[in-house]
Amino acid sequence: MGAGRKSQVIERWPDESREAAQLVVDTYGEPQEATELVLTWSGVGPWKRLVVTRTFYPHVYPAPHIDAVESIIDYRVPPEKVIELAEFDGSVVVQCTVGEVSARCHDEQATFLALNLMNDIVTGQKTVAQARVYHAKEFIDARRGMPTPYMEKLRFAPSDGQVATRTLSDQDLEPAAHEGKQG
């Protein structure tokens, strides 16, 4: 890579994370931010953010691979669905306070698959068990060159991410503010 390119830092990364980072650079161009440990893109493709890390994580579901690319979207997950998503795939991470969901995978196709199945679980279209069976099927279908509709794109629109609702009004807080000043 030429001098001055932010992505040149990956030349010193382990093969596993360097290969994953190169896939993102090839798809979306140079990152907006780069450090020795992380490359970051904002607002590319369907993603709120893409983060590629030098550190990669071995993962065995549905087959052994590494995860180094985190793809983040705005998405509301009802609190009662968070445990189901953890049971589905540990690479799917829910940030309820921020209103984001991410999937840490090796490539964009695997991310599409994980997040599409996440949406199916949240919306009640699939149970965790059904999502895991479908995940394995589509993974194998991709290897066999068969159609993989869940790996092509996000099949839903990300939400605005706002999850929590306010429970205390300004009026509720006003007496508490005055009590704090009197003590």
Radius of gyration in angstroms for the set of CA atoms belonging to the chain, rounded to a whole number: 20
2-52 confidence digits (pLDDT tens): 446 888 999 999 999 999 999 999 999 999 999 999 999 999 999 999 999
Distance CA 64, CA 20 (A): 15
Looking at the DSSP assignment, which residues form a beta bridge with residue 69? Answer: 52, 105
- Average pLDDT (139-156) is 96
Predicted pLDDT of residue 4: 61
151-160 confidence digits (pLDDT tens): 999 999 998 6
Which single residue is written with the structure tokens 């087959």?
63
**Percent of the chain topping pLDDT 90:** 74
Q: What is the pTM of this model?
A: 0.85
Q: What is the DSSP string of 48-78?
A: SEEEEEEEEEEE-SSSSEEEEEEEEEE----
Q: Residue 41's closest CA among 62, 56, 27? A: 27
Confidence check: pLDDT of 173 > 90: no
